[in-house]
Structure 1
């Protein structure tokens, strides 16, 4: 099943307006500027001494240049941060909220009681989807945008065209097993009203994604150096992050992905064996993988 995909912002080349800030390079440039300025001044004043002490750390002018170079480094870093705030791939917090306002896409309140708003990562995805909603022809991305934003409990949506003019819109809940409530499913349907959003000819059906339960258990073999409990904790955290990344409708949970996640989360690993699931878990467009548990066993082996 091929789901609607957006441009992967993480794969974009670093923008040219974000410069590499190098304190040593800045200091060397300032020393060269002072040296050349002094030498040029001595052309008219040959009685002045040569400046040959810029390599000495205790030279007063060098200390001053180091302070100036440090402040310039901070200033350039600040300019970089300000530039990142204007780019969707890097913007965070209230800066990201301002970008969302350009597309009439405010950050969603997902927990009114505790006043918890959606994360930057989730919000960034919806801002990126927003231009899809500008169309009046009902493209796939438009269905995804309106369905996702229809209810605070929803974190993902997908639109499927099984036949002719029928459109199945499948939604995923953020919490629990991922099964959306009837209220959320109805909200998604109402958000796709033919009066304001979709073409009159589209026969839309909204439904919850079905969970495919999978327990994750991996065995990590290490040498005698690393601390087993540290390895276990770090690998468990990395596996949980991978679980969250794969908690999407129609997105597979890969065994090699579990191996890669476990390895990335800990050092000193000799081997990672995935004991469960036995193979990739591949849902269709109407379901998602629901990881019910993550267990990491650590075994110390001889080098």
Structure 2
């Protein structure tokens, strides 16, 4: 198996501070009263506004410090910050490669310093063969035979075979494939599963805003679970649908958790309706 650290399983970094405007305000107010103990602050006192401004600016400053700390951590960095971390590993971003895919490849690259003998090395070199590879699963049912499954997004068979050829060329390079290995590359298309639901809104809710929030949550959920062997939990779909402004959800399909095989992936297709009543 790959020895790359799963970033999602790392404990929360201690340098990241939990922020509360109310706590910061109370701390500043207490510090002020300690300096002028004989004074009392009334709601109409102009000093209250100064305290609120000071507390808000300190909140922004602390959030900026949190963001700066995250920008140098592989698990949290984004955009150009992630590019600079990748440069430390000698791994550049592929054209149009999204942050999460790039983040996955960076620690995996450590296994590429040897030939593609380990599972992680085969995974890394498969990812590197084409930016159209979304996920990789590698196994070996018998000595010397390596099966590589590359998850591709919905495309024609001709396009899929073209990507497969790029992967085969990469993995069979004499500097990558051990001479004793036979590499068999398979492309995998996602199994499409309809997500059909009735979403009921609260009275007065802005339908456009609620629908946008739901679509953004579902896009993130689908992307996070569009992986080989990744379970798609029924409860997670309902959570994504229950955005502010939603009164209730009737999830018609799927009716239970989706559990693919290790070389299979599910992709949800959306069919949402927003009934006016009930």
Into which bin does the TM-score normalised by the smaller protein fall? 0.7 to 0.9
* Alpha-carbon distance in structure 2 between the residues aligned to 1:226 and 1:5: 51
Q: CA 1:67–1:131 in structure 2 vs 1: closer, same or farther (change >3 Å)?
A: same
What is the RMSD computed on CA atoms of the aligned residues?
3.8
* Alpha-carbon distance in structure 2 between the residues aligned to 1:248 and 1:139: 20
Q: Which runs of 5+ in 2 are unaligned?
A: none
Alignment partner, residue 144 of structure 1: 123
Q: CA 1:297–1:60 in structure 2 vs 1: closer, same or farther (change >3 Å)?
A: closer
Cα-to-partner distance string for 1:138-188 (whole Å, 9 max, x where unaligned): 221221111012112222222121222211111122454799622321221
Alignment partner, residue 71 of structure 2: 85
Deviation at 1:281, TM superposition (A): 4.7
Paired residues in the alignment total 277
Alignment partner, residue 18 of structure 2: 20
Deviation at 1:70, TM superposition (A): 5.1
Helix, strand or coil at the partner of 2:106: helix
* Alpha-carbon distance in structure 1 between the residues aligned to 2:227 and 2:56: 45
Deviation at 1:101, TM superposition (A): 0.7
* Alpha-carbon distance in structure 2 between the residues aligned to 1:178 and 1:248: 20
Residue 95 of structure 1, aligned match among 81, 103, 106 = 81
* Alpha-carbon distance in structure 1 between the residues aligned to 2:200 and 2:54: 49
Helix, strand or coil at the partner of 1:17: coil
* Alpha-carbon distance in structure 1 between the residues aligned to 2:146 and 2:222: 28
Q: Which runs of 5+ in 1 are unaligned?
A: 39-49, 110-116
* Alpha-carbon distance in structure 2 between the residues aligned to 1:179 and 1:211: 16
What does residue range 145-224 of structure 1 map to in structure 2 within 5 Å?
Answer: 145-174=124-153, 176=155, 181-193=160-172, 195-218=174-197, 220=198, 222=200
Larger radius of gyration between Structure 1 and Structure 2: 1
